[in-house]
Structure 1
Amino acid sequence: MGDYLLVCALDGEEEARGQASLTRRLARLARAHDMDVTELGPGGWLAAGGPCPARVTTVSNWRLVGDVLNRRAPTLPACAPDDPWAYERKLVARFWGRYIGVQFGPRGRPTALLRDPSGALECVAWTQDGLLLAASAAFPWLLDACRPRWLINRARLDLALRDPLAAGAPLILDGPVAPPPGTVQPLPLDASLVEIWTPGLAARPSLEPWPGIEEAAARLREAVDEAVTGLAGLSAPLAAEVSGGLDSSIVAAALVKGDRKAVRLWLNAHGDTPESDERLYLAGLAARLDIAPASVPHLRAPMTCESLDALSAGFRPGLNALDQAHQTDWAHRIRAVGAEALMTGRGGDAILLQNATADVFVDLWRARGWRSLLDADARELAAANEASLWTFALQARRRAWSAHPRLQRPHALLKPAARLMEPHPWVRDWDDFGPAKALQIAGLVDSVARHEPSALTPFVDVRNPLCAQPVVEACLSLPTPILTLGGRDRGLARHAFRDRLPIEIIERRSKGDMTRLYGRLVHDSLDFLRPWLLEGRLAGLGLLDVQAADVALTRDALLWRGGYSAVMVLAAFEGWVRHWEARLAAPAAR
């Protein structure tokens, strides 16, 4: 969706003159950069721009900024009588969407910020000259006008490089505050966060008596239809991604079931390797849904200093924007047909549960003990993993109630970490669940990154219904052995949507894979990347192991040992550090 800037006056008479001067300047600059400015009451206004600009919905003393949709059948949480945030807990149960909120108190002054559970809309806030500012993007004109005295936090940078859940981690910048999804941030900004929604709370029903398969399938269908219909209905015409895989096919089928005329372009990208070309499955989907997809080559272009700088202007490293040539090509194609939004199937791997491994049997063992050996799906799961049930049982007895290890991205090119990472708030209570459910929760943290800026998002509103709250809550509430029905990855999804999709997609065992394409991207960029990293800022800050990188960053080493994704992550972080060091050191930022 589009970007926003929220500006609200705080208490403080001595700062009133500075407030008025800065707020007038910011409003003028926002309008000059094609943003619409809307008053929010005494001392507060919102600037919105980009594709599908954010709207304002009033709910009691909250102004919700973004897309706010009513739940079809909300389940309100039970709250303690003395819970000061009971209303907000019920608010995020009654509504879903892509929004942040600002609460106004006496005299129209802001008292709290809220971020919806999906994390689809970023919220970075800071105070200056008696104003509260909150933004979805680091607009250059905004930072030039405010001249914030921020610094890159080296310790947090070190941890973020190793953190597979970095999308939901604290900002690497000292100064601004980014409330995590599902929280309220009372003001002032140094007040303690309040968690009003967590995946752990949403997953509690999975520990209760299990529903029947058909009931679970119905829940999943209803949640997907609600999310797809809701996001598709925000604006039209649309484009829709159809990769040929299960996740995007489920979304496409729900779009056809809803309003097929809203979709002006069905778009597929195919690579030049067998595993990245899914047109065979796409043909079956097109015939079943009676659609005419456009299949285009998946473009790639070597990385350059300019391209990496372009993806580094956000509050977070541009990990979602590394596929620039492909994303730019799609932006042009989507806009050319008059569409301003793209519906995708991204996030389904984690939410619908791609990992049908021995971890699922451990979850089953926690619930049923030795009776798990009689479960037909357990036998299918063991066979799919080329193991015996007795091997699974031995693992389950050893692991069923043990604490889950901390997730950490292995990185042979970095020096040893100075300290351990703090666990992400969403995984602090994951020991209450088995390992498969715990990994699903961790995958949900990672899915927040699906919403981050890319080369598409300045021009196209990218909508990810499988990462939306109705689908997330439905899947978290179901036990993982049900989600992997038949011992299959996304087994329940295959069962729930079997009447909408062609059999070749329902029964498909393989999965599209772009690994070799991204490997070629690194190879094509190596003459640039090698000196850029070895002599770069991560090396200068003592984070990169230059000797190890010198050995690893050669074509022969990459061919034999792999590690392409680690190199791309390093490139994104290196570009971000260079960009922000230059931005924060510029005269206009002091």
Structure 2
Amino acid sequence: MYRFTALFGQQRAANGGQIGEAFRNLGLNQVLDHERFALYASADTPVVRIDARSVLVGHAFRCADGKPLAGSSRPEIPLNTDLSLYMSEQFWGDYVLFEFPSAGSFDVTRDPSGGVACVFSTASGFVTSDISTMVDTGLYHRAIDWSFIRENLIYPHIKTGSTGLAEVIELLPGHRLRVSEDGADTSEVWSPWPFVSPGRRYRSASEAAAAVRSAVIKAVEAWADTDRDVLLELSGGLDSSIVAACLRNSKARVTCCNLVTAVPGADERDYAVAMSDLLGQDLHVRTLRVEDAEFDFPPPSNAVAPSTWFLQNAANKLKEAIGREHGVRSFFSGGGGDTAFGYIKTAAPAADAYRERGLLAAARAVRDLAELHQCTFWKASRLTARKLLAPAKPPRVPDLSFVRDTAHRSAANLHPWFTSPPDSLPGDRERIFDLAGAQIFRDGVARSATSHLRMPLLSQPVVEACLRVPSWMWIEGGRNRSVARSAFVDDLPAKILHRRSKGTFMNYSGAVYRRNKHLLRDYLLRGSLEGHGLLDAPALQRFFDRRHDDLDDGFMRIFDLCSIENWVRHQT
């Protein structure tokens, strides 16, 4: 992982050289001493001096030729250039950019993919990738922000910039923090919305497929050449298989793994083997056992909000063990592929086609929609008409089940990307809302706190290329993620290229719930959330009293609550 900390204001002045020794004991060395702040980083975290007034922490690659940014290949930046904007347009990667244009202020910009964790506290005077560093040095004492926890119960699985720790704020991906003598404020540097404007759309599916293919290969190969020894997490699905296909010509040593369960639904090893054979590698298969599920476990050390489920925790242990066994430097995942590749389950693509291309294009999209969902053309037409006539849906629906205080703010205010342009299309809104939700994917994975977790399908060039693909092209021919399938038609085995099904851990999760129902009941009804009056205890008790054969997927909400309860318990 990338590890850095910057101290500013009274925090820096009060501690002086004393804190330097404390940081060195944690593996952080001072790499910059500026009038406004001091920057510390671990030896394995790249720090590149761009010019006399800026430094980059992490990895960045030039968009034009894919060359990594290094001390010997610093960019020639035009005078009077907004460097944060310039970097977001000319480079991509996992990085945090520090700028100090004047003695009175400095800026911190997080790249659009969010590959480097970044939180800050103006009250305590720090910017860091790992809050545990501040705790271990005594520069911050954990205190829960219960107003955040209350909102997180209603709107889980979304980054908002707020965190569960008092006076700690997350700098959202694609945003800039400016710290000056007058205080601090944040602003947006990169947004997905310009990439879905009509003038930037690809005009044909072939053009779209070529662009998506180029972007994915660029991202996968850049990270593989950087890390050299990688563990590829092969789920057996289309997305991780595309990542595998792009690794065939890389210079990296690739180890492949796959997880299965003892209950039906998640055994995808036949598909995963097809891709590991293509790479000429063995597939290391491990089994997630129902009896190994835990609910009370230490969250990732850098977690500033609830994010880790029992399933992620169990899977992480198995993958980390394989990684240690094979000496890998990073973990490669196809995570976020559904989001990037326009996997929309509504009639929005056909509605988009009508609004932007007219009746003929809409008819073709409705036909594709009917084929995709195995329904009649007329049903698909009705759903499309309903999508066109109905008011726009909110970006998130509040989940008020099992909470005592149901007051909540509008979902439109949760995330900057939830403010859509007035002329935006339904499919574009759904895609970008999902993209905002995907920002949390790294947070729930504990191995990202100790190793690099690469999600190339959520890298900036891939996201930008995919956003330019009109939503109706993604369902062309009645196939989900159609453009991605066409882009890699010559690289994937037919059994993966043409499959319609997806593996699911729902049966496994249900088995875990049934086995642990009484434990989960006591965990929640005697826990911190209930102790702070946040849970509707009678409603929870009624749910736990239901027979196993009377269950719907409501038990997944129970796991959400347990994830929050677990994080809260480990903050003291």
- Report 1:87-486 matches (<5 A): 87-107=83-103, 110-127=105-122, 132-139=125-132, 142=135, 145-148=138-141, 151-188=143-180, 190-204=183-197, 206=198, 210-259=202-251, 262-299=252-289, 302=292, 306-307=296-297, 309-311=298-300, 314-319=303-308, 322-375=311-364, 377-400=365-388, 402-415=391-404, 417-421=406-410, 422-429=413-420, 432-452=423-443, 454-486=445-477
| 2:226 counterpart SS class | coil
The yes-or-no answer on 1:5 pairing with 2:5 is: yes
The yes-or-no answer on 1:566 pairing with 2:554 is: no
| 1:248 counterpart SS class | helix
Paired letter, 2:20: A
- Residue deviations 1:257-314, cap 9 Å, x none? 323xx2241111122233211122123323444332222223555555751x445762
Distance 1:70 1:258 in 2: 18
2:526 is matched with which residue: 530, 535, 540?
Answer: 535
Question: Residues 524, 28 of structure 1: CA spacing in aligned structure 2 closer, same or farther, 3 A cutoff?
Answer: farther
**Residue matched to 2:75:** none
Question: Residues 532, 577 of structure 1: CA spacing in aligned structure 2 closer, same or farther, 3 A cutoff?
Answer: same
**Residue matched to 1:503:** 494
| 2:403 counterpart SS class | coil
Paired letter, 2:3: D
More displaced 10-residue stretch of structure 1: 433-442 or 390-399? 390-399
More displaced 10-residue stretch of structure 1: 217-226 or 193-202? 193-202
CA-atom RMSD in angstroms = 2.8
Question: Residues 197, 85 of structure 1: CA spacing in aligned structure 2 closer, same or farther, 3 A cutoff?
Answer: farther
Paired letter, 1:279: R
Contact 1:551–1:557 (CA under 8 A) maintained in structure 2: no
Distance 1:296 1:518 in 2: 17
Contact 1:112–1:186 (CA under 8 A) maintained in structure 2: yes
| 1:400 counterpart SS class | helix
**Residue matched to 2:77:** none
Name stretches of at least 5 consecutive residues in structure 2 with no aligned partner: 67-79
1:186: how far off? 1.4
Contact 1:55–1:66 (CA under 8 A) maintained in structure 2: yes
| 2:122 counterpart SS class | strand
1:139: how far off? 0.9
More displaced 10-residue stretch of structure 1: 179-188 or 158-167? 158-167
Distance 1:487 1:379 in 2: 8
- Residue deviations 1:46-65, cap 9 Å, x none? 3334xx93211233422221
1:25: how far off? 3.1
1:437: how far off? 1.9
Contact 1:245–1:505 (CA under 8 A) maintained in structure 2: yes
Contact 1:217–1:495 (CA under 8 A) maintained in structure 2: yes
Question: Residues 531, 408 of structure 1: CA spacing in aligned structure 2 closer, same or farther, 3 A cutoff?
Answer: same
1:572: how far off? 1.4
1:406: how far off? 3.8
Distance 1:316 1:185 in 2: 20
Contact 2:262–2:289 (CA under 8 A) maintained in structure 1: no
Question: Residues 213, 548 of structure 1: CA spacing in aligned structure 2 closer, same or farther, 3 A cutoff?
Answer: same
Distance 1:564 1:558 in 2: 12
- Residue deviations 1:349-374, cap 9 Å, x none? 11112224312111112112322354
Name stretches of at least 5 consecutive residues in structure 1 with no aligned partner: 75-83, 583-590
Paired letter, 1:167: K
1:515: how far off? 1.4
| 2:138 counterpart SS class | helix
Distance 2:50 2:397 in 1: 40
1:447: how far off? 1.4
Contact 2:337–2:458 (CA under 8 A) maintained in structure 1: yes
Distance 2:305 2:407 in 1: 22
1:526: how far off? 2.8
Distance 1:400 1:371 in 2: 16
User: How many pairs align?
Assistant: 555
Report the identity percentage: 26
| 2:551 counterpart SS class | helix
Contact 1:321–1:455 (CA under 8 A) maintained in structure 2: no
Question: Residues 142, 173 of structure 1: CA spacing in aligned structure 2 closer, same or farther, 3 A cutoff?
Answer: closer
**Residue matched to 2:73:** none
Distance 1:264 1:209 in 2: 35
Question: Residues 516, 555 of structure 1: CA spacing in aligned structure 2 closer, same or farther, 3 A cutoff?
Answer: farther
**Residue matched to 2:20:** 27
| 2:247 counterpart SS class | helix
Contact 2:157–2:307 (CA under 8 A) maintained in structure 1: no
Distance 1:557 1:142 in 2: 43
- Residue deviations 1:127-178, cap 9 Å, x none? 357xx41111221663651245x75333332222222552344223341222
Distance 1:558 1:575 in 2: 28
1:506: how far off? 0.4
Question: Residues 250, 166 of structure 1: CA spacing in aligned structure 2 closer, same or farther, 3 A cutoff?
Answer: same
1:574: how far off? 1.1
Paired letter, 2:387: R
Contact 2:235–2:259 (CA under 8 A) maintained in structure 1: yes
Paired letter, 1:182: G
More displaced 10-residue stretch of structure 1: 219-228 or 394-403? 394-403
The yes-or-no answer on 1:488 pairing with 2:490 is: no
Paired letter, 1:122: A
| 1:525 counterpart SS class | helix
Question: Residues 299, 311 of structure 1: CA spacing in aligned structure 2 closer, same or farther, 3 A cutoff?
Answer: farther
Contact 1:311–1:321 (CA under 8 A) maintained in structure 2: no
1:544 is matched with which residue: 520, 535, 538?
Answer: 535
1:245: how far off? 0.8
Taking structure 1 as the reference length, what is the TM-score of the superposition?
Answer: 0.86
Contact 2:161–2:169 (CA under 8 A) maintained in structure 1: no
Paired letter, 2:328: A
